[in-house]
Structure 1
Amino acid sequence: MTGTPTETLDVVILGAGVAGLYQLYQLRKAGYKVRVFEQGGDVGGTWYWNRYPGARFDSEGHIYQYLFDESLYKGWTWSEKFPGQPEIERWMHYVADTLDLRKDIKLNARITSAHYDEGRARWLVKTSAGDVVDAQFFVSCGGMLSAPITDLFPNKEAFGGEVVYTSRYPAGGVDVRGKRVGVVGIGATGIQVVQTMAADSGHMTVFARTPQYTLPMKNPALGEAEVEAYKDRFAELKERIPNTFTGFEHDFTTTWGITTDPEERIKHMENTYADGSLKFWLATFPEIFTDPECSEAVSAFVAGKMKERLKHDPHLLEVLVPKFEDYGFGTHRVPLERNYLEVYLRDNVTAVSVKNNPIVSFTEKGLRLKDGTEYELDIVIMATGFDAGSGALSSIDVRGRGGRSLHDEWNKDIRTTMGLGKHGYPNLLTTAVPLAPSAALCNMTTCLQQQTEWITGAIESLKKEGKSTIEPTQAGEDAWVEHHDAIANATLVTKTDSWYMGSNVPGKPRRLLSYIGGVGTYRTKCNEEAEAGYPSFERS
């Protein structure tokens, strides 16, 4: 790649979301010349792009925050337990403005290519805005769910209505009043769209492929007393959250094997279910990930709750309630919802299963299924997910030593070292890519803070030792992949198809994207790697 640099930097950062903002803050504070390049028109990452109706946290607001600065934490107040997208976006602006980060962020500038120059040990990075940047380090903070899956169905241009992607939802919104609305997809995003927009739609048709085990969300408003209570716990949360299994406040307190009394098991499930959060997933029994007996019992419990809410309607049960023989509770992403199931009891909502009768194309009037059935629609809302974990980087022309292509390598086999780097790509340091908890199984702020802090430490270590490059060794990468796979393959998660396994992207290599050994365990291993002098990396 050629081009005369328009700027020379120590570090280029991809993305101005949760990871990118904190990474910028740390490296700038350490004295490096840094710039963030962001595709969007403002900071916020996923909270800038995903502005569809109903978008909100499924982490409690008081834990989805930065914990490196007490005044920054206490300077922001959430209005409810699980805040919605507009409030979250305002919080991201608060962070950027309070830390004076905007002066080092270039918006509307998508990084299109990043090539490593072996002779100079530098990266040449180009953007859609015409930047050509020479940098020592290239740090990816592109996010784990930031590469939307589009163009799933042919003939879209023939459709006379409007097609909207939740991942690129227009800021001005979409008027569905009196319209025939089709929603494609019932993952976490589709569920939020359906429960929020059904009442306003003329008629809503929901195209459901994979039924989801769902949990009802309890989302109380937070008054002055509740806000003061969580802010007073800052020190406790800072210590606890990074060391739990998933980086949430919740953690497992008992096990299926210890709690052998059937009545005690049911009581424990009822108590965690009643919390109205992801606590039921993340703090009931750890064996839901490994023990078929436990998985079946917990799955039956959740399915039973769903059936009651659906009034045991045979059609709705078939379309919306998972069967254990297909997959167990918790081995897919678990959506939190608010009266989602009750939406299907409305006269203006129709649930259509496309599991065995898939959508094959757009038509002039709507969508056609494999059996020829055509649904006439005015608006189609596509909640069809992302190329998770690897998509943000592999959609860019990233080339390492000898011109090797990251896109090509990850198309063959998805491998990293601790989700922090890739052999063959010196001074490429990564967050929210495969084989780390941040790829899926973590409260994102918890894991992204940890990874960016590790990256800052690694760069600082090089400077102190008079070295200039860091790259995972082949042996280090092999060892991490082996460790990752050994843990993953002992779970039920790898036995099913989901975006956790890359199954939603045709041709994507099959591997559990997220490290499932635990957030606290991962943190310990990263710390041990640094304290031992980075034995899995070559530094020169």
Structure 2
Amino acid sequence: MTETQNPLDVLIVGAGFAGVYGVHKFRSMGFNVLAVEAGENVGGTWYWNRYPGLRCDVDSLEYCFGFSEELQRDWTWTERYARQEEIERYINYAADRLDVRKDIRFNARVASTAFDEASALWTVTLENGDSYQSRFIVMATGCLTVPKTPDIAGIGDFKGELFHSVRWPRQSPDLSGKNVAVIGTGSTGVQMIPLLAQQAKNLVVVQRTPAYCVPARNGPWPQERVEYWRENFTQLRDMAKNSRAGVLHEYGILPLHAIRAEDREADLERRWLKGGPNVTYAFNDVVTNKAANEVVAEFFHRKIRSAVTDPATAEKLIPSGFPIATKRMCVGTDYYETYNRDNVQLIDLRTEKLEQIEAHGIRTTDGFYPVDVIILATGYDAMTGALLAIDIQGRDGHRLREDWSHGPESYIGMGISGYPNMFVVTGPGSPSVFSNVVVSIEHDIEWIADCLAYMREHGKQTIEADPAAQDRWMDHVDEVAGRTLLNEAASWYRGANVAGKPQRFMPYVGGVNTYRDTCRQIAANGYEGFNIDGGSDARGEPAIAQTADT
């Protein structure tokens, strides 16, 4: 930036769903806005991730922008669970229709941001040394963009090809005739493994923790379903916004004990045949009642045993040590059945130890597995990784890396004490990855936009989360998670997948509907819990709506 340039009103970091909508929304309100994006194009998570088999696990008719009747009317999804390529095309289609590219700078990775109290401006500096000043910054960096690379002895000695799922080559490698190993059996591995088994000469799957996987039952949308959604989209979207997860799941309304055993089994079977995550919503107490949780888990265990012909392999694939639905529920196609193939081997790290990677393969306590290609399906430094990759410097010497050294803290996931005029989209402390993230993104962008309009209308310069309000909110986030079984799993929701990362359950699980109501009340009360122009919060504790069943 040159000294003659005027500061921006809003600078957005990231150009995925949030960045694209943010540019459109803020610009339509008369704000001078720019988004900076590290990649070469829009797409966010769907730009950076492109591994084989990658699909969204929310129905495509729901995983789309809801603010524009034109966008939803003129786009037709082809499948129930859209492929990465189709979602990336959709975001590009939206960017073109909204004409936002002129306000996005690509190949622009942010190195640091710093707030100057005297001018009440942020300086955002790119890795190439260019910088911008902006009154407000909106961190739309995404929850699942930063890869987690495992620390495995000898991995640097491997002489074959090594790929990470989060940085998959645009020209997908030819694996035919090769011995391939996949390390990781989370959602990424579940999607990849069936396709890799069809391509590779032999496939070795290295499993640390077995995954619960529900069948997708994916396929083309019937035309009548597409037309129904087009005709009723606004009503259906409003229903989703007022649901627990921001998705029109078939939410069970009764607890386990209120349903006869034979009816439980029949409903679980019906949901299994229907496909998708609905099976884990059969009772309204699956993640709060161990008895209900065990009934659903045992149903899955029986399905695994019936799908896998070798009993020993089936037992290796059965999850243990954590309640079902407390880690990411995987949605896949023929995942368990893939282990019936003659060219697939399973290394279960609960029964054999991974000793090291060698030049031409993997050595465990049970032997040596020769491989030509290793694929790391080891996931993400989720929710905080992209934010902490930037040196964010706030007021009075605050640095986010230091302030979050014991775990992330925010007020309603969007504001952070010590960082005036900085907002986070789907940040820790919001429903984020425990919701249809596009619904949550739209909510956050619209809430932030209304807040900026309020600041402009009232001639205010700075807004910052009050530290006491932030503490109360995080106590509430912890308390709601503590009512569930979610903390019993070493999940990436807690940061447990990254060595040394402080563990704290990061998403808000009180319900999308509850969260939206709370945010609405905060705004209606003059942005209660925020300090505006340095004023202290003298209005007491912000009202928190009654939490939904989790």
Question: What range describes the TM-score normalised by the shorter chain of this pair?
Answer: over 0.9
Shift of 1:435: 1.1
Shift of 1:469: 0.8
Shift of 1:285: 1.4
1:457 correspondence with 2:455: no
2:409 to 415, 420, 439: 415
Q: 1:43 to 1:358 in 2, by over 3 A?
A: farther
Q: 1:479 to 1:214 in 2, by over 3 A?
A: same
* Counterpart for residue 379 of structure 1: 373
* Counterpart for residue 340 of structure 2: 345
* Counterpart for residue 285 of structure 1: 283
**8 Å contact 2:413–2:425 — kept in the other structure?**
yes
1:319 correspondence with 2:312: no
**8 Å contact 1:5–1:134 — kept in the other structure?**
no
Alignment of 1:96-107 (within 5 A): 96-107=95-106
CA distance in 2, matches of 1:421, 1:358: 44
Please give the per-residue CA displacement for 1:349-406, whole angstroms capped at 9, x wherever unaligned.
101012354435432112334x384322111111101111111101110111122211
Which letter does structure 2 place at the counterpart of 1:279? N
Q: 1:181 to 1:122 in 2, by over 3 A?
A: same
* Counterpart for residue 525 of structure 1: 518
Shift of 1:5: 8.5
**8 Å contact 1:121–1:136 — kept in the other structure?**
yes
1:443 correspondence with 2:436: yes
Give secondary structure in 2 for the equivalent of 1:96: helix
1:295 correspondence with 2:293: yes
Alignment of 1:79-158 (within 5 A): 79-158=78-157
Shift of 1:495: 1.6
Give secondary structure in 1 for the equivalent of 2:86: helix
Q: Which moved more, 1:293-302 or 1:405-414?
A: 405-414
**8 Å contact 1:13–1:35 — kept in the other structure?**
yes
Shift of 1:43: 0.5
**8 Å contact 2:114–2:392 — kept in the other structure?**
yes
Please give the per-residue CA displacement for 1:499-531, whole angstroms capped at 9, x wherever unaligned.
111110112222111101001110100111100
**8 Å contact 2:323–2:488 — kept in the other structure?**
no
Which letter does structure 2 place at the counterpart of 1:446? V
**8 Å contact 2:80–2:221 — kept in the other structure?**
yes
* Counterpart for residue 470 of structure 2: 477
Q: Which moved more, 1:151-160 or 1:170-179?
A: 151-160
Q: Runs of 5+ in structure 2 lacking a partner?
A: 534-550
Q: Which moved more, 1:225-234 or 1:209-218?
A: 225-234
Q: Which moved more, 1:26-35 or 1:257-266?
A: 257-266
Q: Which moved more, 1:421-430 or 1:122-131?
A: 122-131
Q: 1:467 to 1:235 in 2, by over 3 A?
A: same
CA distance in 2, matches of 1:162, 1:486: 46
Identical columns (%): 36
Give secondary structure in 1 for the equivalent of 2:194: helix
CA distance in 2, matches of 1:360, 1:501: 27
Give secondary structure in 1 for the equivalent of 2:271: helix
Which letter does structure 1 place at the counterpart of 2:524? E
Shift of 1:75: 0.9
Shift of 1:107: 1.0
* Counterpart for residue 237 of structure 1: 236
Give secondary structure in 2 for the equivalent of 1:90: helix
CA distance in 2, matches of 1:179, 1:255: 51
* Counterpart for residue 401 of structure 1: 395
Q: 1:117 to 1:500 in 2, by over 3 A?
A: same
CA distance in 1, matches of 2:245, 2:301: 24
**8 Å contact 2:352–2:366 — kept in the other structure?**
no
**8 Å contact 1:36–1:106 — kept in the other structure?**
yes
2:349 to 349, 354, 367: 354
CA distance in 1, matches of 2:72, 2:159: 48
* Counterpart for residue 527 of structure 2: 534
CA distance in 2, matches of 1:358, 1:136: 53
**8 Å contact 1:245–1:251 — kept in the other structure?**
no
CA distance in 2, matches of 1:158, 1:7: 51
* Counterpart for residue 537 of structure 2: none
Give secondary structure in 2 for the equivalent of 1:415: coil
CA distance in 2, matches of 1:203, 1:4: 60
Give secondary structure in 2 for the equivalent of 1:344: helix
TM-score computed with the length of structure 2 as normaliser: 0.94
CA distance in 2, matches of 1:480, 1:5: 41
1:276 correspondence with 2:275: yes
Which letter does structure 2 place at the counterpart of 1:523? R
* Counterpart for residue 11 of structure 1: 10
* Counterpart for residue 175 of structure 1: 174
Which letter does structure 2 place at the counterpart of 1:248? V
Which letter does structure 2 place at the counterpart of 1:444? V
Give secondary structure in 2 for the equivalent of 1:274: helix
Shift of 1:93: 0.6
Which letter does structure 2 place at the counterpart of 1:469? T
CA distance in 2, matches of 1:140, 1:19: 9
TM-score computed with the length of structure 1 as normaliser: 0.96
**8 Å contact 2:305–2:315 — kept in the other structure?**
no
CA distance in 1, matches of 2:514, 2:351: 40
Q: 1:456 to 1:173 in 2, by over 3 A?
A: same
Q: Which moved more, 1:250-259 or 1:34-43?
A: 250-259
Please give the per-residue CA displacement for 1:180-214, whole angstroms capped at 9, x wherever unaligned.
10101000011111011111101110000101111
Give secondary structure in 2 for the equivalent of 1:411: coil
**8 Å contact 1:108–1:129 — kept in the other structure?**
no
* Counterpart for residue 422 of structure 2: 428
RMSD of equivalent CA atoms: 1.7
1:189 correspondence with 2:182: no
Give secondary structure in 2 for the equivalent of 1:421: coil
**8 Å contact 1:5–1:131 — kept in the other structure?**
no
Which letter does structure 2 place at the counterpart of 1:338? T
Shift of 1:71: 1.2
* Counterpart for residue 332 of structure 1: 327
**8 Å contact 2:431–2:509 — kept in the other structure?**
yes
Shift of 1:3: 9.5
CA distance in 2, matches of 1:427, 1:39: 22
Which letter does structure 2 place at the counterpart of 1:425? Y
Please give the per-residue CA displacement for 1:139-183, whole angstroms capped at 9, x wherever unaligned.
011111111112522443321111111101111001100011010
Q: 1:372 to 1:135 in 2, by over 3 A?
A: farther
Q: Which moved more, 1:372-381 or 1:486-495?
A: 372-381
Which letter does structure 1 place at the counterpart of 2:302? G
Give secondary structure in 2 for the equivalent of 1:233: helix
CA distance in 2, matches of 1:477, 1:177: 53
Shift of 1:319: 2.1
CA distance in 2, matches of 1:213, 1:535: 41
Moved over 6 A (4+): 2-7
